[in-house]
Amino acid sequence: MSQQFGEMPDKAGYFGEYGGQIIPPELKVAMDKISDAYETVRQTRAFQDELQELYTHYVGRPSPIYFAKKLTERQGGARIFIKREDLNHTGAHKINHCLGQALLAKFMGKTKVIAETGAGQHGVAMATACALVGLPCEIHMGVIDIEKEHPNVTKMKILGATLIPVTRGTQTLKDAVDSAFDEYVKDPDNFLYAIGSAVGPHPFPKMVRDFQMIIGKESREQFLAREKKLPDMIVACVGGGSNSIGMFTEFLPDESVRLVGVEPAGKGLDTPDNAATMTLGTKGTLHGYKCYALQDKDGNTLPVYSIASGLDYPGVGPQHCYLKDMGRVQYESATDQECLDAFITLSRVEGIIPALESAHAVAYAMRAAKELGKDKTILVNLSGRGDKDADFVADYLNL
Ligand SMILES: *Cc1c(COP(=O)(O)O)cnc(C)c1O
Mean pLDDT across the chain, nearest whole number?
95
Does residue 1 carry a pLDDT above 70? no
Does the pLDDT at position 201 exceed 90?
A: yes
Instruction: For residue 22, give the DSSP letter.
Output: -
The phi-psi region of residue 166 (left if phi > 0; otherwise alpha if psi is between -120 and 50; otherwise beta) is beta
Kindly state whether residues 202 and 218 are assigned to the same domain: no
285 shares its domain with 167: no
Residue type, 238: V
Q: Give the Cα separation of 127 and 124 in Å (integer).
A: 5
Q: What pLDDT score does 150 carry?
A: 85
Q: How confident is the model at residue 2 (pLDDT cuts 50, 70, 90)?
A: very low
> Does the beta carbon of 249 sit less than 6 angstroms from any atom of ligand 1?
no
Q: What is the pLDDT of residue 366?
A: 98
Q: Identify the pLDDT of residue 4.
A: 64
- Is 309 a known active-site residue? no
Q: Is the pLDDT of residue 310 over 60?
A: yes
Task: Encode pLDDT of 266-304 as tens digits.
Answer: 999 999 999 999 999 999 999 999 999 999 999 999 999
Residue 238: its pLDDT value, please? 98
Ligand 1 atom, smallest distance to 241 CA? 8
Whether residue 380 sits in one domain with residue 361 = yes
Task: For residue 362, give the amino acid letter.
Answer: V
pLDDT at 58 exceeding the cut of 90: yes
Same structural domain, 354 and 368:
yes
Q: Which of 324, 318, 263 is nearest to 290 (CA)?
A: 318
Q: Are 248 and 181 members of one domain?
A: no
386 Cβ below 6 A of ligand 1: no
pLDDT, average across residues 163-177 = 91
pLDDT at 378 over 50: yes
Pick the last residue of a domain from 209, 228, 257: 209
Q: Does 294 share its domain with 342?
A: yes
DSSP-based three-state secondary structure for 303? coil
| The pLDDT value given to residue 148 | 80
Look at residues 155, 188, 209 and tell me which one is the last residue of a structural domain.
209
Residues 27, 108, single domain; the answer is: yes
Tell me the CA–centroid distance for residue 332 and ligand 1, in Å: 16
The rounded Å distance from CA 156 to ligand 1 centre is 17
Nearest CA to ligand 1 atom 4: 239
Co-location of 269 and 284 in the same domain: yes
pLDDT above 90 (res 51): yes
- Final residue of a structural domain among 209, 227, 255: 209
The question of whether 383 is a catalytic residue gets the answer yes
Does some domain include residue 1? Answer: no
Look up 332 and say whether it is catalytic. Answer: no
Ligand 1 center from residue 173 Cα (angstroms): 12
- The residue whose CA has the least distance to atom 3 of ligand 1 is 310
Q: How many domains does the chain have?
A: 2
- Tabulate helix, strand, coil % of the chain (nearest 5): 50, 20, 35
Domain that holds residue 384: 60-91+213-396
Residues 281 and 307 in one domain: yes
Spatial CB neighbours of 364, under 8 Å, sequence gap ≥ 6: 235, 260, 262, 332, 334
Predicted confidence band of residue 12 (pLDDT cuts 50, 70, 90): very high
Residue 177 sits in the same domain as residue 201? yes
8: in domain: no
Q: Distance from the CA of 105 to the center of ligand 1, in angstroms?
A: 22
Query: Residue 341, Cα to own-chain centre: how many angstroms?
Result: 22
367: CATH: 3.40.50.1100
Per-residue confidence (pLDDT) for residue 118, from 0 to 100: 84
